[in-house]
Structure 1
C-alpha cells in the first residue's frame, strides 16, 4: 500500500488494485478507475466495491485525499481544487494517462474539477450523490455549520452535519464507521474543506456557481442521486449523449455503500457501453 509525493509538502496514501489474472490499464480490457472519497472519510469508503471492480477487469486506484486518512495533513490548502491537482500529479507518478473518475459527495466535486481543468485525463465521470448543486434554502445553513466547525467542538459539529448523510436505509455499521473516521480528522481540515466546498471564493457547491462550472464538463457523466429534484437539475447540464442520470429515491447520501452490489453493477455496465470502449 504505497505513498506518492505529489507536492513538496503533500504525500498521498493510495492503493492500486487489479486482478491477479490480468493487469488492465489503458491497453487492457477496461479503463482504469480512480475512486475518490467524500468529506471527512478516506479511501476505505470503497472497501465495499474494490473486489467487484477488479473482478470486472479494472485497475482501481483509490487515494486518501490530502488532509484525510493516511495522507499528509497540511496546515492550509485543503480544498477541492488542490485535491484535484494532487490527483493529476498522482496519475503522473503512476504513468496513468486517462481514467474513469468516480467521486462521492466532496469527491464528486474533486473529480469534476479534474475533468474541467484537465479534460485529457478523464475518459468519463461517475458522480455519486454529488456535493454540488445546493439550492439557496440549503446554503443558508452553511455559515452556521462552518462557524461550528471552527468552534470549540468541531467533531461534534461534523457529526451533526453527518446526520444529514443517513436515513432509515443506512445500516448502523455504516453510521458507526463514518462517525469513527470523522473523529479521527484534523479539525482545521474539516472546516477548511467544507468552507471551500460551499462558501469560498472559488466554491462550486451552490447554484448558480454549480451550473456555470459543471456545464464545462465535456466527457460522459453517470450521475447517481438520492434526490429526484437535484437529479433532474443535473440532467440539464450534461452535454455528452452517453451521459446518464439515475435516482435511487429513498436511499441516503451513502447510497453506494447501502446498495454496493447494485452500484458496482450499474457503474461497470455503463462503462462497458461507453462509445469507443473495448469489445466485450
Structure 2
C-alpha cells in the first residue's frame, strides 16, 4: 500500500528495488509545489544500478493530503522520520531537490544517525533571503492569488532559456493546482529559517557545518556552488556544476544520473 497514514495525514510514497542490509535505501525528496514525479528520470536509473529507491510526496504536495498549516522544513523532516520508523529503515541516503535540500540538511544536523549521505540537487539554503520575504508578503496580501504568484515566481526564477516548454508547462500547472494554504505555508516556513538555518550569515554557516554525512552537490548557481566551498568540503564531498536552472535533474537527467550513480559507488 503506497500510502502511510500517521494521524490525519496521508503520505504517498513508492518503494522499489532490493531490500538489502548491505547498502542503505535512497529516499528522494522533491521541491516546492512539486512532487515525486520529478524523479521519474532518476528512479529507473537508480534501480538499474541496484539501489532500493523510495520517493515521497511531501504533505500538501502531489498525492499526499494537505492538512491545515503550518508547513515547514522541520515538519517535513518529522514526517520523514515517521515514515522511516514505519518502514523499519534505520538510515537512508537522502536525495533532495531545492526546498527539500533544507529538510535533508536539517535531518543531517539534528538526526545524523538517520542520514548516511546527502545528494543535494540545486540546494537553496545558501541563496534564499529577503526576496522570499517580499514574495511571502505579496502572497499574504492576496492569498487566493498565491498559486498564480508562485507560478510567476517559477517562470521568472527557476527556468532558463534552455528549459523545455513541457517542463515550463508542467511546473506552471502544478503551482496553479496547489492549495493557497500550502503555497503560502511552505513559503512562510522557508522565510522563518532565514538567518539561522538558511542564508549566508555566520549562524547559518555554523548550522550547515554541523552536517557530517558526505555530500554530493549538483547545481548551476555559482553563488550556491561558492557557498558549498565556503562551508568546506570533507573527504568524500563533491560539487558538480550543471547549468540548467532549478530543474536541472529533469532537463539534464542523464548527466545528473551519472554523477549520482558514480558518487554513490564510492560512498555506499
In structure 2, the gaps of 5 or more residues are none
Shift in Å, 1:201: 7.4
In structure 1, the gaps of 5 or more residues are none
Shift in Å, 1:123: 0.6
- Counterpart of 1:205 in structure 2 is 198
Matched, 1:242 2:236: yes
Contact map agreement 2:94 2:119 (CA 8 A) in 1: yes
Helix, strand or coil for the counterpart of 2:95?
strand
TM, length-normalised to structure 1: 0.89
CA root-mean-square deviation: 1.7
Question: Whole-Å Cα distance in 1 between the matches of residues 196 and 175 of structure 2?
Answer: 22
Of the three residues 117, 140, 156, the one matched with 2:110 is 117
- Counterpart of 1:140 in structure 2 is 130
Q: Could you give the per-residue CA deviations for residues 114-144 of structure 1, whole angstroms, max 9, x where no partner exists?
A: 1111111111001111121126xxx232222
- Counterpart of 1:189 in structure 2 is 182
TM, length-normalised to structure 2: 0.93
- Counterpart of 1:107 in structure 2 is 100
Of the three residues 83, 95, 118, the one matched with 1:90 is 83
Contact map agreement 2:92 2:114 (CA 8 A) in 1: yes
Q: Could you give the per-residue CA deviations for residues 148-186 of structure 1, whole angstroms, max 9, x where no partner exists?
A: 222141111101111211011211111111111111111
Question: Which consecutive aligned stretches of 4+ in structure 1 deviate over 6 angstroms post-superposition?
Answer: none
Of the three residues 16, 20, 35, the one matched with 1:25 is 20
Shift in Å, 1:77: 2.5
Structure 1 or 2: larger helix share?
Answer: 2
Of the three residues 138, 152, 156, the one matched with 1:160 is 152
Shift in Å, 1:12: 0.8
Contact map agreement 1:37 1:103 (CA 8 A) in 2: yes
Question: Whole-Å Cα distance in 1 between the matches of residues 120 and 13 of structure 2?
Answer: 20
Q: Could you give the per-residue CA deviations for residues 216-235 of structure 1, whole angstroms, max 9, x where no partner exists?
A: 10110101111123202212
Contact map agreement 2:148 2:175 (CA 8 A) in 1: no
- Counterpart of 1:67 in structure 2 is 60
Shift in Å, 1:200: 4.8
> How many corresponding residue pairs?
264
Q: Could you give the per-residue CA deviations for residues 38-89 of structure 1, whole angstroms, max 9, x where no partner exists?
A: 0001111111111111111011100100111111211112111010111011
Of the three residues 147, 160, 163, the one matched with 1:170 is 163
Contact map agreement 2:16 2:54 (CA 8 A) in 1: yes
